Amino acid sequence: MKEVYKPLFEPFTFRNGVQLKNRIVMAPMTTFSANPDDTASDAEIDYYAARSNGPGMVITACAYVQENGKGFEGQFAADRDTMIQSLRRVASSIKEKGAKAIIQLYHGGRLAVPHLIPDGETVSASSVAPLLDRGFYSIDQTPCSLSDEEVIQLIKDFGEATRRAIEAGFDGVELHGASGYIIQQFFSPHSNTRTDRWGGNIEKPLAFPLAVIEEVKRVMAEHAKQPFILGYRLSPEEPETPGITMAETFILLDALADAEPDYIHMALNDFWSKPRRGVESNRSRVELIQEHVGNRVPIIGVGSIHTPDQAIEALEKTRIPFVALGRELIMEPQWVEKVEQGKEKEIKTTINPSNQALLTIPDPLWELILDVPGWFPIEKETIQK
């Protein structure tokens, strides 16, 4: 490989002793491709296997921890023990290729899809409807506010899903506290208007995410026979008003660092995006976050990184230890290998509509890639429909 890219391939050891072979992470991306019973499909297994030879760590698509938290068609589940065998297939497909396997756990909350959940009733921290469309669905109904007992049960269910991940052979879990889902909903001033122990001033909205971390760590200590990775993903800002700004995120970051997850993973569309509110700065969010807590907990940055030059610039300018690739690893499953072998000029940064089989992309995801304008760069001149 070129000398300039060597920092991408330096190993990294977490505080728990788990070592990653390099600094490249596969970001979690929904595939919409599970079986009708919400077990992982053969196509998903092949999809992960095709992308797990190079990255040091692969984070799966989010798996729901309660049946009423399902937020996508074709989403695999982690909410009951009968799913352990399905989860084991996913973990094995990743680990057999050399990457650490991390499953992302989540609950959609008010962004769960009504026709996919029991009785069509969404739930959240409070009965506040979402204002903006997020992702692939338009959800405008007002959720039911969770009772105190239901909040405690949800916390326990994150723990139970973690136990299943351990039994399935995963190397860790990532708590999805980003993208407007339920962990973020409890922290957000837009979606949490509670006045009990789960809401109120800035400290109380922290109670739920910290309680989930505490429960997951308790389960890890009880069930994991070897060091197990715990990550947390967050969105630095929300578009809603009121909503999370960088000022609230700094408070959350301090609390998370004290809780000692193994890493914090940003959720960004653009790695170099700058703050909108809550801080006056011309620097990127990633740079500010690294400066704030990077000496206390490892940071994973992400967002429209496609070339190895962009990846090395991200690491060296911000001094974060990891860079995650999302869409790029869909377009180029052998991205890491090609950089390592000095074949970076062969890396694909567009989708050829004739290459579904070559790219090992399941049908539902493939159809969306071709149908959603602007999501992926498509080689339009070769499209044949």
Q: How far is CA 283 from the centre of its chain?
A: 24
- 207 contacts 252 by C-beta, under 8 angstroms: no
Mutual orientation of helices 148-168 and 207-223 as an angle, nearest 10°?
40
Peptide bond before residue 377 is cis, with ω within 30 degrees of 0 = no
Beta pairing class for 144-145 and 123-124: parallel
Distance CA 162, CA 360 (A): 28
Q: 131-136 contacts: CB < 8 A, separation 24 or more?
A: 131/190, 131/240, 132/239, 132/240, 134/179, 134/180, 135/71, 135/111, 135/179, 136/72, 136/368, 136/372
Q: Which of 47, 48, 106, 181 is catalytic?
A: 181
What single-letter DSSP state applies at residue 310?
A: H
Phi, psi angles (nearest 5°) of residue 298: -65, 140
Is 263 a residue of the active site? no
Active site residues: 181
